């Protein structure tokens, strides 16, 4: 198989910016950071039969620290700024999230992400936030038609 170099634009995070009703997926686009962390949850088991402890992974707590540039009219910025202004708590901080991975397989995660609001930095021109990806992660594939993702469950 021929190697194909994947680029940053091949990995596409989307948030549902609607406030109820049919999903309105908007790409997190005006950002200069992207590092999706798996965050394995593990513990050390010190068995009597081994010289050194063995690490066992019991689960994952993925998260995506991100930012959005301060462009009024950008759907992601507008939605997240409303959240920043309102300072929601509890179930109000969750948004549907779609992570579309690069590559020929067109793999995707569809889930709910908890939005942890960060800082509004007017000098740097960005609003920071972290998407905590938990609960049930539905796996599948995606296609993009007219700039909108279409998720198909596995």
- Give the pLDDT confidence of 116-126 residue by residue, as tens digits: 999 999 999 99
Vertex 112, ends 73 and 79: CA angle to 5°? 15
- Give the pLDDT confidence of 121-147 residue by residue, as tens digits: 999 999 999 999 988 999 999 999 888
- Give the pLDDT confidence of 69-109 residue by residue, as tens digits: 999 999 999 999 999 999 999 999 999 999 999 999 999 99
Domain CATH code at residue 123: 2.40.30
Q: What is the mean pLDDT of residues 46-72?
A: 96
> For residue 107, is it within any domain?
yes
> For residue 3, is it within any domain?
no
Domain total of the chain = 1
> For residue 59, is it within any domain?
yes
> For residue 1, is it within any domain?
no
> For residue 130, is it within any domain?
yes
**pTM above threshold 0.75:** yes
Residue with tokens 């995660």: 109
> For residue 2, is it within any domain?
no
Would you say 59 and 10 are in contact if contact means Cβ atoms under 8 Å apart?
Answer: no
**Which structural domain range is residue 81 located in?**
8-153
């Amino acid at each position: 198989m021929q190697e194909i170099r994947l680029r940053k634009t091949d990995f596409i995070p989307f948030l549902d910016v609607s406030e109820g009703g049919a999903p309105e997926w908007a790409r997190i686009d005006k950002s200069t950071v992207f590092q999706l962390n798996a965050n394995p949850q593990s513990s050390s088991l010190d068995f009597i039969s081994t010289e050194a402890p063995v690490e066992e992974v019991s689960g994952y707590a993925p998260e995506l620290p991100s930012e959005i540039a301060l462009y009024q009219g950008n759907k992601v910025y507008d939605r997240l700024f409303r959240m920043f202004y309102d300072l929601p708590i509890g179930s109000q901080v969750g948004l549907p999230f779609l992570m579309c991975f690069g590559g020929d397989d067109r793999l995707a995660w569809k889930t709910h992400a908890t939005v942890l609001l960060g800082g509004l930095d007017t000098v740097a021109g960005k609003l920071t936030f972290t998407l905590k990806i938990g609960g049930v992660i539905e796996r599948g594939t995606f296609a993009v038609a007219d700039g909108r993702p279409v998720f198909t469950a596995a």
